[in-house]
Structure 1
């Protein structure tokens, strides 16, 4: 069984940094910080300026673990208790969900809810309810 470590201060710090980044992106570029939309714009750029800010945001996301290593001396521990096939299937399902849901958890949950978007509030409630049900079934019904 997977043990979930309670890390309130690290979680709070990460949330604050994500919030600051979202506000700065909206203030400087005028865009919502949805990770899948940013990635899609890097893969299918419309113009150089649009591609550049997206690439910078992605570079910042990727460099996070490197910054942790510089500060602490070691890379953050990551456990992936799933097979490669399950990760590929999960990634494909997320891609479908992002397409039909018109955005990802970061776009809806962080930025959309902050703008009081009804669509984002409903999407975030759907993400959260689905997550609770999945964790309950996995841990208490299937015993995984």
Structure 2
């Protein structure tokens, strides 16, 4: 394994993690809500509710922050080596998995584990193991 030191940014990664953790803590402390993206988005797609403004604001910040960051400095460019068909299938499978797991990686990994949820710990370990296995199969057995 080689580390790409030109793009290795542990300081920025730590800062980003701290900001995500702080945002999750503020949301649960002041709004009583968990910062799980699938739950926040899913709440907008369900029946009409009285909690639409905070959900829209949260998602706008999630989408708007990288846009603002790119305007202020070097834009982040994703290099995705997959076709649109593969991306759509992967998105569907992720959505199916988050429904089956009762939440997404952000909800379980950031918020659930910090609350001491065993279910979230098991879900996060499952997410991670599946990711590790997928990379291993892709790189060593299929030859990606």
| Alignment TM-score, normalising by the size of structure 2 | 0.90
Is the counterpart of residue 36 in structure 1 residue 38 in structure 2?
A: yes
Cα distance in 1 for partners of 2:72, 2:30 equals: 28
- Deviation digits for residues 7-61 of structure 1 (CA, Å, limit 9, x no counterpart): 212211211111011001001110110001101112225423x111000000000
Give the aligned partner of residue 121 of structure 2: 121
Please show how residues 64-75 of structure 1 align to structure 2 within 5 Å.
Answer: 64-72=65-73, 74-75=74-75
Q: 1:143 offset after TM fit, Å?
A: 2.1
Cα distance in 2 for partners of 1:137, 1:130 equals: 10
- Please tell me whether the aligned partners of residues 45 and 51 of structure 1 are also in contact (alpha carbons under 8 angstroms): no
Is the counterpart of residue 56 in structure 1 residue 87 in structure 2?
A: no
Please show how residues 1-144 of structure 1 align to structure 2 within 5 Å.
Answer: 5-48=7-50, 50-72=51-73, 74-144=74-144
Query: Could you list the runs of 4 or more consecutive aligned residues of structure 1 that deviate by over 4 angstroms after TM superposition?
Result: none
| Alignment TM-score, normalising by the size of structure 1 | 0.90
Structure 1 gap segments, 5+ residues each: none
- Deviation digits for residues 63-103 of structure 1 (CA, Å, limit 9, x no counterpart): 1212212321x421111111100011011111111111000
Cα distance in 2 for partners of 1:117, 1:81 equals: 35
Give the length in aligned residue pairs. Answer: 140
